[in-house]
Structure 1
Amino acid sequence: MHHPYRLLLPFLLFACLTGSAVFASPGGDTTQPGIPDTSKLPPDSIGMHLLRACRDLREQGDYMASLEKGLQALQIFRQTGNRIKEASTDRNLAQLYQFMGEQNSNPDYIRQGLNYARTSLDLCVAAADTAGMVASNNTWGVIYRSMALINLDQPYWYDSAMACYNKALATISPSGKGKGVTAPLYNNISQVYSEGKKDYPAALHYLDMAVRIAMAEHSLDDLSHDYGNISAVYQKMGDKKKSLEYAYKTLDMARQIGTANRLINAYCQLYNSYDHFGKADSAFKYYFIFDNMRDSMASLAATKQISDAQTKYETEKKQALIADLNGRNSRQQKRIALLLTGLAVVVLFFVGLFVLFKRGQRQKRLISTQAGQLEVMMKELHHRVKNNLQIISSLLSLQSYRLKDDEALEAIRLSQQRVQAMSFIHQRLYSTDQARMVNMQEYLQDLTRSLVMAYGYTEQTLDLQVEIARQWLDIDKALPLGLIANEITTNALKYAFKDGQRPALYIGLAEDGEHLLFTVKDNGRGWDMKRWEQPGASFGRTLVETLCRQLKATQNLTYHNGSIFAFAIPKDNTYAG
């Protein structure tokens, strides 16, 4: 029988060794739709070519190039006064920021998308463009739904989204203007019923109407969205067969379309379905593909370029406004110049102080620039370390294929888990604004959930509680604590739960005066304390002892309705590694 992850290994090694995302476009501009010779085209035609390029590049996942084309098109349509095309461009930019905000859980991007959607709707109302008003209200609703996804404690965003969708449906003209948005509207309404109202039959009702329209119009893109949402609804209803059936239909549609965004959504839905129904191997396979594609579209460089492009556009717009104001106020400037001449003597008095001030400012800017470069380099370093750790894990997996001895296979598996524990740290460091601080709640949850899934448990078969009072911790403390949690949790999952009762794990990190208190507890049958306390009893024990010495920590093992490992770490200790 072939190992389920064997097909993924070439994919992994290629992605990590090239230092770039597997699904990213090659260098140059070969993936961007070409813009013809603009010297022979009127401005509006150039703008339309740029707008089409903006749409295509967004679906391919090249957000930086999409943003540049969209801003160029927007500038042209504003200059020519084509308000309908300007509104269409604003909608595309709104959707672009919605994609980026949802994939990166960044509310600032989504708020930027709301601004563009609001501008698009205002332009359509002013131009009496019915179809544009329908599309703009739909886009506005989609962005509100994205805000609900990344702000789970604010469910009222779903109500705002539903209000936009209903307004869009009411705006559709009896003559047919705006009717082309009906299928996406039904699809989007189904998400409100499924995610916000938990009314799954109603969600399937709207999805059925959306599928019928999409089939009649032969719209593969709409069908891809519809099938993905149908799979998600059946997943919530507990129907494994139909959830996986529509998840694979989603992947089939995405492959026919061939765009990165649709493929990412398809692989994510397959992972969610398999994970929900406890199929750990298949879930891991599709999560790995999804995670690599998502990483390729969320690099630090791309994020910085997007910010720079938006800043450049806003700067050019402000410069044009300044130039216009300068032309209107030229006489005022002349009067100001005469006053400045009269103050020249006073200015000379401050020249010396100004020179000293400028020297200090230059030094300050230099320090700030170097600090920013160092932060970017640190994030890139963490990204590469994470990729290299994935290579090591893959090589260990390749090595395990040749081994027949159970003890050797188990040693390889434990080594992979230790490498994964370190990989989680570096993944969090490069994907946040913190270069050295780790969110322990998220890190320990990711680590323990991956171990629980690896040993065949699910949320339905094992009670897992992670309770963290000290949220942020320096990497010098976070990494040893993660490895300690990995060792103890692994042993508990392997040996503790043998007596048939419902297994439970508790991991806690609290503060007590001058110490951090780290606790790992299970409700299993208990450990052999004499064997654990015997020097050199196992590699795991040796590793935990070494990590405790590095942290200058004390450890204590007790048994009360299960095993309790307690560690006390001085807050102001110097890392001894």
Structure 2
Amino acid sequence: MKRFLKYRMQIMPKQAKIYLLITLFSFGYIAAQSIQKQEVDLLEAFRDSESASEKFDFFFETPNRYTQDSAYDWLDDVKVYLNSAEKINDSSAIRLYKLIKAQLYFDIGDYNKSIAFAKELPKSKDTLGQKPLEILLTLLDENYRELKMFDEQIKVREEKIELGFTEGVAFYDIYEKMGLYRRAMNKYVQTVGPTIADNDHLGKAKYHNKIGNFLRLEKSEPTAIGELNKASGFLQVAVNDITIQKTESDLFDIEFLNAEIEGNIGKCYVGLKQYKEALPHLQASLKIFEEFSNGKYADQLVDNTLSFANAHLQLGNYKTAKKHLDKVYQVEDIQQQLNLNHLLASYYDKTENYRTANTFYKKNQRISDSLKANEQSILKQQLVAIVGTSDLENSRRLVNEQKASNEKFRSELQQQSERTNLVIISLIFTLLGFAGLVYAYLKSIKNQRLIAQQKHIIEDSLKEKDSLLKEIHHRVKNNLQMVSSLLSLQTKNTRSKAAIEALEEGKSRVKAMALIHQKLYQNEDLSVIEMQGYIESLINSVQSVYKKGGHNISITIDAEGTELDIDRAIPFGLILNELVSNSFKYAFPESDENGKIYIHLRKNGDQGYFEYTDNGVGLPEDTDERANSSMGIRLMNRLVNQLQSKLNVDKTGEGVRFWFNFK
């Protein structure tokens, strides 16, 4: 902060200095008052709001709501309010709480769940209200942005325009994310250019900086430098203009914009290979970002640091280059990771540490292969969806150019790897002599062939083992299905109602075990079963047995990401089969229209937890007396004992609740 004030005092006239001191004193007092206000427990204030509408307004009008309580704490409260609203069928409150819940999942980072809840809400001003509708569309926009679903993001923005929410709606940022920099620049000029007033020097500085950056990304560095110099000139005019009142936030924006402009100019010079001219601009930019950014400009800080290190590397200042490369960590952007690996490989190559250099070249090779396999097809599809048939040829050209660039990069990596191997071999020749090297080389070739043969044999054995295991599980599943079919035939030839019910129950249990083996031979990993999909398949299987019931019941399964081995999955499947079967048969004797079943399964390390609830008629009062005679209850108790646990039953609330912990 001291450096920031010193910098401002140097570039401002005397009147501006006096104004700045008064402004900073005022904002210091306001900040102190704000800190005192922040001592209020925001989550408690949210709870104290009486109606759903008041809670909604409080939530979205409180920007720093997670300073004391996390988003998970807020989510727990909102779930309770939503359940209460659903019980009394308050449709208006349900919509508001679902929108809050969708925002919380976005803040947590679970974008798919956020989209799922947001899509349940109606996109109508009459039903949802103008403010909630605008929040809903903005939330969908942000979710699609994080998931890189650019075609969906454009559809949402078009919906906003159709519904009258035109303020701040643009498309250039989406094209920029997709790498269509020329198209993004044209959209930016059309959208933002006409909105900037003649006397808005700060706005013009931001405008020309953005245009310059688009040109830099398009590899038009000379033209980009001209635009960036314009931006710097307008920024200087804005700084010296004492007729316009500037807040502390405005002053910081000016400082960071200056850092952006300097960084972009420096990166343009690096692109032109004018490394000495690039250094002072990049150094000035880094000095500001490192001191004040607090993570807000992390991407630009990384980009400028890599460009600064690259300039020193090309000028032969290896120690300085390595010092700045070591500052870059926790890189999330793939392109930045590629650049970092490439610069580290170049550093070790230039300092003759070829083995380490080769390691980083290979890392980039793996990343490039992964990008080529995954992101290329996705990007191509979205280009076609967004640009349309009129721009299809341009999209293909961009994809082909990217493909050629990747192939060129692959060739360079291969050449570097081959050169490194040749240097290592030449060093061995020098140290050991010609005779010893020939002997070692021949022996090495023999060993490599032997290792390759053994590796091939081991790989074939593993494949054969996996194939045999899958075949075993497949046959076991088929045998169990045959048993199920025999039970079905026996059911048709039996007139006793009790015998038919017993055979149907046995058939359901056999299907539950068969499903385990089916999931195992369908999995790549034969040791574990993904339980979310298994539970869904098991419920469908039970519904097929009880054809007249269970189809209107709302079933919620919360087992995402949980995996169990076969020793736990089979007992668990049989337990769940009994519980779901009982709910379908007995829990809803009159109507299952409002029936609900909730299944929760979690496994964390060595500890697991299972819970099953329904809102049916509950268990009869003499359940404990029937326990010894009931096949289902005795079977569940034995299976839970097999999991080294105890089955717990709660009959006090609505319906019934079963739960147990397991290892």
- Whether TM-score is above 0.5 comes out as no
In our comparison, the structure showing a higher alpha carbon Rg is 2
Normalized against structure 2, the TM-score is what? 0.34
Normalized against structure 1, the TM-score is what? 0.38
Q: RCO (CA 8 Å, sep 6+): is it higher in 1 or 2?
A: 1
